[in-house]
Amino acid sequence: MKNILAVLVNYGEDQLQYLEQVINKLKSFQKYEVSIVVNSNIPLNINGIDLVNVIQLDDYQLLPLTCRQVIWDHKDDFDVFLYGENDHLFKEHHIDKHLKYTSFLPKNRITGLVQYEEDSTGKFYPAYHAPYNWDYDSVEEHNGLKFAHFTNIHQATFILTKEQLHTIGSKFDFTQFFSPSRYSKKCKVNTDIYQFCGMKKMICIDEFEDNLIHHLPNRYINHISGDGTPNLSIEANNKMEKALKILLK
């Protein structure tokens, strides 16, 4: 049985109900032994957490980065490493798929997840906005499956095998930011992995639904779905479906 270190970041009390859901789901995995560390600015008393690191900082935008220090401290102790914010629901099949894809993708390719939110009308993809879109020229086929690159690499999470972690650590100080970029300090904790490490982030579009991760608060969809306004969840869902049809041709 492979063992997983899941390191999550929590700030304040507002989202503890989501953190509890994330913890419960991780601890329900059947094929993996999961150890959970939470780096938080406040003490926590949630069943299933193996260790809470209470961290005081002047700039709490740097709190997520402390999770990379924990991962690196245990780089030889686990088979798989997860990073996530306290409101992103990892599921067991996310690990299954990452390991499956890693087994046949070139070493300069790495898989990741796409955030979604959901209401009664469908899914909304917060990362699918402004200039961000699929790179329609990036489609590749490996082991009978098609993969493509989505240009917004921030999805508040990453999954790394031990080998991938060691490869990155041989090039960079994993505990520090790698280089300036357009992403904020909070986001760079995960985007660094995909932007600077020589591994292009690819999403398996043949198994797209298996590579989505739920942003539990549904914060963005709730902000845009007001009375008298268009239901943008439907529009966003249609946009994604059209894009996938083009990519899969």
**Does residue 231 contact residue 121 with C-beta atoms inside 8 Å?**
yes
For the entire predicted model, the pTM comes to 0.95
Half-sphere exposure of 67 toward its Cβ, with a 13 Å CA cutoff?
34
Q: CB-based burial of residue 44 (10 Å sphere; 0-12 exposed, 13-18 middle, 19+ buried)?
A: middle
Of the CA atoms within 13 Å of residue 201, those in its CB half-sphere come to: 24
* Sign of the CA dihedral running 74, 28, 194, 183: negative
* Cα distances (angstroms) measured from residue 102 to each of 12, 89, 124, 203, 217: 35, 21, 27, 12, 30
Sheet containing strand 200-204, edge to edge, reads 109-111, 200-204, 145-150, 134-142
Tens of pLDDT, residues 133-192: 999 999 999 999 999 999 999 999 999 999 999 999 999 999 999 999 999 999 999 999
Q: Return the closest-CA partner of residue 81 out of 6, 157, 188.
A: 6
What are the pLDDT digits (tens) for 78-136? 999 999 999 999 999 999 999 999 999 999 999 999 999 998 889 999 999 888 999 99
- Quick: pLDDT tens for 187-213: 999 999 999 999 999 999 999 999 999
Q: Within 13 Å and on the Cβ side, how many CA atoms surround 172?
A: 18
- What pLDDT does residue 206 have? 98
Tell me the torsion sign for CA atoms 152, 158, 159, 160. Answer: positive
Let me know: does 204 contact 92? Beta carbons within 8 Å.
no
Residue 224's pLDDT band (cuts 50, 70, 90): very low
